[in-house]
Chains A and B, each alone.
Chain A
Amino acid sequence: MSDILIIGAGECGVRAAFALREAGHEGGIALIGAEPHLPYERPPLSKTAPTAPKIIAEEAGYVEAGIALMRCSRVESINRAERRVRLSDGSALPYKKLLIATGARARRFPGMEAARTLRSLDDARGILDALGPGLRLAIIGGGFIGLELAATARKLGTEVTLVEAAERLMARIVPAEIAEAMAGRHRAEGARLILGTGVAEVRTNGITLADGRIIEADMVVAGVGAEPETRLAAEAGLEVANGIVVDGRLATSDPHIFAAGDCCSFPFNGARVRLESWRCAQDQGAHAARAMLGCEEAYARVPWFWSDQYDLTLQVAGLPDPSLGHVRRDLGGGAFILFQRDDAGRLVSASGVGSGNAVAKDIRLAEMIMEKGLRPDPTQLKDPAVNLKTVLKGVPA
């Protein structure tokens, strides 16, 4: 019998399974995944032409750790009173603790039913295998997935048109200056960007835009956000509000059930947030594992995102707030970082873009400055000659 069941074998569930062993759990662990593949990393799917998937751990790793990896398995329902789940093959599995790590699914708005989406390895194979000269690709949505796919497609010589309903790219997560830098690069690489225009309908041979224009395309992919997979939780009577509601320990309204990763809504800085982030999925998986074993600590990591487009990498630590101004740090070679501080002077976000890993070190230090709740001097943030490590070590909280 497995003491601990994990529903969802993505980054979060896999991380949780291994973290249970690292934390000394000796009972059974079952990791239930719907896909036929060994658990793999999703971020590369939109960034690289299809090769072998980047798996999270070899099959032997699960065996050695005593993790029962169940592929092609779907959980149909959770019976909280009897503490067991029912699988689609009719079998039932009991649990002492249950982790829901079901992630999120690609969203489609009305009229977009005919568009492909990019979320799984099978999705990626269907899309990326077709890229190349002669293919006209239309992408709906100027967020990370749409833009990464646009960059990958352009590198392979595909004709790319990207349509975004908002007036600028990545409006949900990065400041305008960074979005503009990225838009400039996409245009320079030959991608056609149509901003501020909605989609009326996706057809087999293209898109009809809200203003009546027609974009002819051989393939249409929608990258217009994701919705948390909350069905099991909702049907089991757990509280759901834009994600499965969890407390700081990542416990749901049932003390035997936890939720982590893209599917959960957790407390952060006095608000509730739901993130779609590879690192958050990992960190919360590990945190939920410890919490299921009795750890009382609250999850408190600063959000962190990245995106690779062409040779540019964008990194964000914290959650950018459109109502706050920013301090700009220019790192040379066109790389720059925008810092935001709250009214009390505490650093709340750092967003940067540059070639390769130009912004990585400073973004990481900014994240650590945020974790400590420090109030850095803006003149130091602005000056690239000032090593942020001295700011991290030198500023009183």
Chain B
Amino acid sequence: MSEWVDACAVDDVEEEDLIRFDHDGKTFAIYRSPDDDFFATDGICTHEHALLADGLVMDYIIECPKHNGRFDYRTGEAKGAPVCVNLKTYPVKVEDGRVFIDVA
């Protein structure tokens, strides 16, 4: 079962950057890649409690602001110490200038 949620407008996210999106008590992160694709992951680092929205996006990597844990935000893959647990990712679609994520 899909549960598509309207997360933000396309223009809310700068290229090669991310924003925080809260829904139903959960925090997500919405990314816009350098080639203008959108992605979504959990919004909290898997190492220690830190908001990824405060972190830095370089190419396809989000780096946690607290201890520099790095993830590929397209797949959620943890890219080495100190993080070893992958980030959960969510399907994304763009319609009429809005970004939707499937939170189911």
| Residues of chain A at the chain B interface (Cβ within 8 Å) | 15, 18, 22, 41, 54, 56-57, 61, 278-279, 282, 286, 304, 306, 313, 356-358, 360-361, 364-365, 389
Contacts and interface: CB of A to CB of B under 8 A. Distances in A.
B54 A357 contact: yes
B81 A360 contact: no
B13 interface: no
B10 interface: no
A279 B68 contact: yes
Nearest to A313: B66
Interface in B59-104: 63, 65-68, 80-82, 84
Contact of B54 (A61, A304, A356): A356
Contact of A18 (B16, B63, B81): B81
Contacts of A279: 67-68
Given A365-B56, A389-B16, A360 B66 contact: yes
A365 B65 CA distance: 11
A282 B80 CA distance: 11
Nearest to A19: B81
B43 interface: no
A18 B78 CA distance: 15
Contacts of B56: 360-361, 364-365, 389
Contacts of A54: 48
A309 B68 CA distance: 19
Contact of A15 (B54, B55, B81): B81
A357 B67 contact: no
Contacts of B80: 22
A357 B63 contact: no
Contacts of A61: 84
B82 A282 contact: yes
A283 to B, nearest CB: 9
A-side interface mostly: helix
Contact of A357 (B16, B65, B81): B65
B-side interface mostly: loop
A357 B50 contact: yes
Contacts of B54: 356-358, 360-361
Contact of B63 (A15, A41, A282, A364): A364
B84 to A, nearest CB: 7
Contacts of A286: 81
Contacts of A389: 16, 56, 58
A265 B54 CA distance: 33
In the complex, which of the residues A54, A313, A360 has the most CB atoms of chain B within 10 Å of its own CB atom? A360
Nearest to A43: B67
26 contacts: A15-B81, A18-B81, A22-B80, A56-B82, A57-B84, A278-B67, A286-B81, A304-B68, A306-B66, A313-B66, A356-B51, A357-B51, A357-B54, A357-B55, A357-B65, A358-B54, A360-B54, A360-B66, A361-B54, A361-B56, A364-B55, A364-B56, A364-B65, A365-B56, A389-B16, A389-B58
Contacts of B16: 389
A190 B91 CA distance: 48
A365 B81 CA distance: 19
A297 B55 CA distance: 29
Contacts of A358: 54
B82 to A, nearest CB: 7
Contact of B65 (A22, A41, A361): A361
B59 to A, nearest CB: 11
Contacts of A360: 54-56, 65-66
Nearest to A285: B81
A364 B68 contact: yes
B67 A361 contact: no
Contacts of B50: 357
Contacts of A365: 56
Interface string B2-16: 000000000000001
List of 3 A-B pairs having minimum Cβ-Cβ separation, nearest first: A360-B65, A357-B54, A357-B65
